[in-house]
A and B are shown apart, each in its own frame.
Chain A
């Protein structure tokens, strides 16, 4: 047990706050994401303080005893790390799966409104695509497939199916990071293809729909890259 919890101070509430700050400081991720966890621990600590006070301890000693009962802040924070990693991975995976069809629809609209022969068949048969773009469009299967698979795996292993899908604590943030990096790669590929098309036959593209789809892809690329780094950072913090 850390020394701070054994030192009764006149204000028991302040001791509790110092203890909670010690836990919050060790939790991974942004501070706002810990508010609910710390609020719940605070309410439990105050209940425990009340129980010790009712048993006859003065306020400051009651708070110190409650903190002792809750355990070393390092141990408590470490116990929450896996949970935070799972929640974060789940949120990233759900966001990626939700964004996929929306951004896909934007690109589909951009293709339909551009003069690249979209009505004649699948993308690689569009008449006015540059040769490089026509070849590279096949590659989209890889990032789309990997994103979908890894995101579905992260969602399944952090929800109701988690009892039947036992995954180690580091497996879930890894899956979410893989999904996010694959999604970012898909966006980078899409943006590269549009750049090639602009350079070779830019006049055939419908400016507004293409700009909207490219902006959405660029935004997702930046956010997915950040999310992947966050997941990998949480993964590294797990034992």
Chain B
């Protein structure tokens, strides 16, 4: 095994197939999109080179509201980091402290992550249905009928209503990452803390959280990037509507390319999203300057 790992030739041979696939399916299209973003093209006929005009149009006089959609995705990123991650953290802390049925709950919380997003979208669409949906029925049941709304059909609520399933779906995923990380912390530290009279809360705040900082950083990066490029659930629930109230960059890009026949402009949006994600990753890395704790 060691002989294989240290043999550079062997490494290259084993990594090559996966790398070729990765380059062809992920890297190459990004560069192609970069090229297409410099064209005015309908996707079918011939395209004309217009340089960075697409990028300027995105922000200066976007008829479809690209700037607002970016703002929406940033709102989702903030919700993910400040609502989804704390919830995941609390669940991870509780589960790893040895409650009864730990394995059972771990599985149950993870199930939304593996259900297809289309299924989740359809499920929540029925929950939000104004006439027979679970949410409005529940409000009627507790005598709050006045709060009933067409959640996905009203411009005021469509954005947040479409974000709830997204935040809900991946709580289990982050919880699992944090849970695994917490489990690697040796018990001796907790024992010592308990002897010194620390409460569970203090232990969580002063011991657990600092020691899982690396995984917290990973979770924050995943949450932010995932939010910036979210597509499936928004597309299924509202398709960016009504009238762009729940538009995010990826749904706007999709509609620009396939319904408005503006491949060049859509590619510019795609490239922007890629660059945006890279920038945020670097920022988060800087913010989380992690010192390795050894124990």
Is B truly associated with A?
no
